[in-house]
Chains A and B, each alone.
Chain A
Amino acid sequence: MEKDFTRRTFIKGMAVGTMAGYLGAAGLSSTVFKNQLLPQEKLNQVDIGEIKALKIKVVSETSWYDNNVFLNDVKGAGGLLVNQYTIPWTCAGVAAGYQGSNLGGFSTYIEATLMDGKVMKIHFDTGWNPAWMEKRFREEGVAEKLAKKEIDFMVLSHEHIDHFFGLEATLKFYPDIPLYVPKGFYQEGFDFLKGKSFPAANAINNIPHRGKMTVLDSSKVNILYPGIALMTFDVPIILRVFGEQAFVFNVKDKGLVLVTGCCHQGIISYMEEVRKKVKGGEKIYAIEGGLHISPFEDWDPQYDDLIMAFNKYGVQKIGCNHCTGFITAEKMHKAGLPVIKGTARNMTKRDIYLGNGDELAIA
């Protein structure tokens, strides 16, 4: 009987001790001993090679004219998680907009000079409103290069409306253009590439893509040519999109240049990934493209975290635009970040960052 009594209390004590021991170990490991217990960070850098020079032209960074019209479309459809292929995007009836539409689009034209002198011509994203995109392609000479098949390949940064739905404006000139897309495209995206339209979303494409298409994933740094690489990120994105890719160029004597579409992965997350995976990634020379911070002139204290941390990275040139947002650009200028001003032409509303037709050359 006495033995039973001791055993019973022993077991009780053990139960309490186990819970206390587990919680105590958890509490101490996660605070006092945390630095000792966390595994060391491992760098796994690859050498992507070098290019001689880089020229980046903003073809169109203006994706929608009136923020309120765009946001009302989003709100009416049920918010930021609704599938973009089902939302009746307002296009007509905005006289001051892009060819009378609220919809513009994002596209960048890139020339990268390889070490042997060959110039690689890259068509990066294809915008939203085909009429507007065609006009911009013609104005910047991109249409002509497409028609002559002088452009080496097209890269789609991600599946979003304003980077992708203007596909017809590209395929019209060059239907068999070689194409790189990031892993994460939905079936609708592949169907759209094949010439299927989504009238509910005013997404029309009557020209099937007939060229080679390569889907790139995040398992490695995808080196396309020496000094030209793409990195893919498995990120879930608003309007039911998944995955984005962005460029890493290595310009001789300058350093790494990151060129993004929207950068939904986050610019600091991107720089951190480059630091871990690309040789020379500790120091980024320049950044160009959308930084996806306040695309709707909305805000979140998290974005200030980003601006406050940005200076530590010592980037020398920031050619941002598009979904970076005007508020962000103002705050970045105030924080002393080297944001390059633009010329506010071709329907870009302000000169606070690189706008339509502006160019960034690195050599």
Chain B
Amino acid sequence: MEEAKTAEAQEKSGWGSGIAVGILVGVALFCLTYALLIMAK
């Protein structure tokens, strides 16, 4: 029971921090696209 809870908590923490980092990566990638467009102009 305890173990399951720990695992669930870890899974959640994994998800949460993953999403947070991911969003940063996604935004950074979009900035790259933006820079490409500025250069294409």
Contacts and interface: CB of A to CB of B under 8 A. Distances in A.
Direct contact of A and B (CB under 8 A): yes
B18 A17 contact: yes
A16 B14 contact: no
A7 B18 CA distance: 9
Contacts, number: 93
Given A8-B14, A17-B25, A21-B23, 8 more contacts: A10-B18, A12-B15, A13-B14, A15-B18, A15-B22, A16-B22, A21-B24, A22-B26
A21 B30 contact: yes
B29 to A, nearest CB: 5
B27 A13 contact: no
Could you say which of B6, B24, B25, B31 has the most chain A C-beta atoms within 10 Å of its C-beta?
B25
A18 B24 CA distance: 7
B21 A14 contact: yes
* Secondary structure call for the A interface: helix
Contacts of A14: 18-19, 21-22, 25
Interface residues of B, number: 26
A17 B7 contact: no
A314 B17 CA distance: 58
Contacts of A22: 26-27, 29-30
Contacts of A96: none
Given A6-B13, A26-B30, A20 B18 contact: no
Contact of A13 (B7, B19, B30, B41): B19
A262 B9 CA distance: 71
A13 B15 contact: yes
Contact of B15 (A9, A19, A21): A9
* Secondary structure call for the B interface: helix
A13 B30 CA distance: 18
Contacts of A32: none
Interface of A: 2, 5-26, 29, 37, 39
Contacts of A16: 18-19, 22
B35 to A, nearest CB: 12
A17 B38 CA distance: 25
A20 B30 contact: no
Nearest to B23: A21
A25 B38 contact: no
A37 B31 CA distance: 11
Given A10-B18, A39-B38, A39-B41, A21 B26 contact: yes
